[in-house]
Chain A
Amino acid sequence: MSTDKQVVDSERENEFTTTHHVYVPHKAGIPPLANYARELWRRREFATEMSRASLRAANTLTLFGQVWLVLNPLLLSGVYFLLVQVLSGGRHGWEFFAQLTAGLFTFYFISGSMGTGASSVVGGGKLLLNTAFPRLLMPFSAIRTAFFRFLPTLPVYLIFHVIAGLGFHWAVFIAVFFLFLLVVFALGLAALFATLQVYFRDTTSFLPYLTRIWLYASPVLWSIETIPPRFEKVITVLEFVNPLHSLLGGFTQCLVNGDIPSFTTFATATVWAFGVFAIGSLFFMSREREFAVRL
């Protein structure tokens, strides 16, 4: 009875919608990746719509919703600025404040991605029980939401950038590349935490502690250049162990200072972003068929 005859006929064979499906026990955990990716791409509208609906539901698109998105990290920057100011004896100026806001806003994008990502699958439970679709759409849609909550903070940063008299460099374009890496990283992270949340519902309760430690270990409240020499050893370890060191550090370095990061920073950031993306999404895919009985 399909009136979408043309669509159906032109559809390629895959496990989610075609007119002919064969389901057999899966031996290996990971579904055929090409099919999966094709279906994921074909239903991208679902992720978009899902994210739009959740943004609407949280009033994010209204004026005050947007103000709130900015206000929260801004107040935090104020608090941390005062803290660092007191601890360092008041030698920081607007330039540091600009860097702090850039770092914090970006850090909150990552921690927000973890949070919304973690609750994406469990939160969408009912839909998962009733429709067969590539489940990765859920955490990916959460990242879209997190990204759209991050966007309004960028113009606010620009104001401080101008006030601090930092000027504009063409390295800003490289910052776009790092932002892209951050998004890729966030996608992997969201998939990972979404899976964990299905099995351990208290994952989201641990996240605040994790984010707090991560914040202190990342170049947000301190910058790589101002580290005293006695911490050099720690930094050389952090540089490779903490993905945000290269990702976030590289981003703020381009955006705030207009410096071009070293090749090591580029390489580490790229490897971390795509590595976490691969691990997170493959882990998610290998587990996703079990979600229906675990929700």
Chain B
Amino acid sequence: MSSLSASESVPTKGLSVKVENLSVTYRTTFERVPTFKNAITRFGRGQRAVREVEALKNVTFDVPDGTALGIIGNNGAGKSTLMRALAGILPPTEGRIEVNGRISPLLSLGVGFNPMLSGRENIILGGLASGLSRAQVVARAEEVTAFAGLEEFIDAPMRTYSSGMYSRLAFSVAVHMDPDILMIDEALSAGDATFKTKAAEKMGELRESARAFFLVSHSLASIKQLCNDAIWLHKGTLMMRGTPEEVTAAYADFVNVGESAVILEDL
């Protein structure tokens, strides 16, 4: 995914993220479960079950250090694909992405955990996978647990967790892995009022200390409250870049609902 030649390895000063003409097109199968049996039958009929998805089309933007960037858009606009591309999980099809900093592992809420394993095992596995050493992860595990308020349940398998507990842990893991660049994908929509307040506080704090902060949310109020910059994606294209107020207003206009209470709040 990256050909790290010397010429490309010079970081651009003052920028956390630089995205140039990024297109992500991937081929995926529309079969429910891809099997060899189906492939053979299809081959006999001369059909193909692979579909191209153009998730992002020619997206260009810069994120200077200290930016809290809100990302809005309808479902399927390419928001999560953008996050995954920035994290290096999905390779670009065209264009170039430059990232300066360690990225937090959480992309969308509640995923990344193995439900059969305990909360603690999941914290440790997640941390190790993202490149921290065991000592660093073990040291953070306590903090993560305490912040999520899950001291009693941390050694129970995660399939026994409620969805709120699940998302509290996911959020807590993301913010405690010391990212330079924090990416939160629809994280505020779960958890109870107490945790939401705590999470908002923590995000405010991280916004100050992290080099950059990305927030994907359907809650326009959260975007306005937590971000100082915003982009709006629609069907893979970048529609607008501006202050959170401008962008959310344009988006609300576009979807033709007005700034009603429904889109301002999480349901």
Residues of A within 8 A of B (CB): 1-4, 7-8, 13-17, 19-27, 31-32, 35, 39, 42-43, 45-46, 49-50, 53, 56-57, 124, 126-133, 137, 199-203, 206, 289-290, 292-294
Contacts and interface: CB of A to CB of B under 8 A. Distances in A.
B111 A202 contact: no
Given A126-B114, A199-B34, A202-B36, A133 B130 contact: yes
A126 B112 contact: yes
Contacts, number: 178
Q: Which of B4, B105, B117, B206 has the largest count of A CB atoms less than 10 A from its CB?
A: B4
Given A46-B128, A290-B26, A26 B114 contact: no
Interface residues of B, number: 66
A23 B8 CA distance: 10
A2 B180 contact: yes
Contacts of A132: 87-89, 130
B34 A200 contact: yes
Q: Which of B84, B89, B112, B132 has the largest count of A CB atoms less than 10 A from its CB?
A: B89
A131 B131 CA distance: 10
A286 to B, nearest CB: 12
Interface of B: 1-4, 8-9, 11, 26-29, 33-37, 39, 53, 84-85, 87-102, 105-108, 111-114, 116-117, 121, 124-126, 128-134, 136, 157, 178-180, 206, 209-211
Given A24-B8, A131-B129, A289 B1 contact: yes
B129 A22 contact: no
Given A21-B2, A45-B134, A133-B130, A13 B9 contact: yes
Q: Which of A23, A32, A199 has the largest count of B CB atoms less than 10 A from its CB?
A: A23
B211 A1 contact: yes
A201 B34 contact: yes
B210 A131 contact: no
Q: Which of B26, B85, B131 has the largest count of A CB atoms less than 10 A from its CB?
A: B131
B84 A129 contact: yes
Contact of A293 (B3, B28, B136, B178): B28
Given A42-B131, A43-B129, A23 B97 contact: yes
B220 to A, nearest CB: 25
Contacts of B9: 13, 20, 22
Contacts of B37: 202
B116 A206 contact: no
Contacts of B36: 200, 202-203, 206
Contacts of A2: 102, 178, 180
Contacts of A49: 121, 124-125, 128, 134
27 contacts: A17-B102, A17-B131, A20-B11, A22-B4, A22-B97, A23-B2, A23-B88, A23-B98, A24-B8, A25-B93, A26-B91, A35-B4, A45-B128, A49-B121, A49-B134, A56-B121, A127-B129, A131-B87, A131-B89, A200-B34, A202-B35, A202-B36, A203-B36, A290-B26, A292-B84, A292-B90, A293-B26
Contacts of B209: 1
A203 B129 CA distance: 26
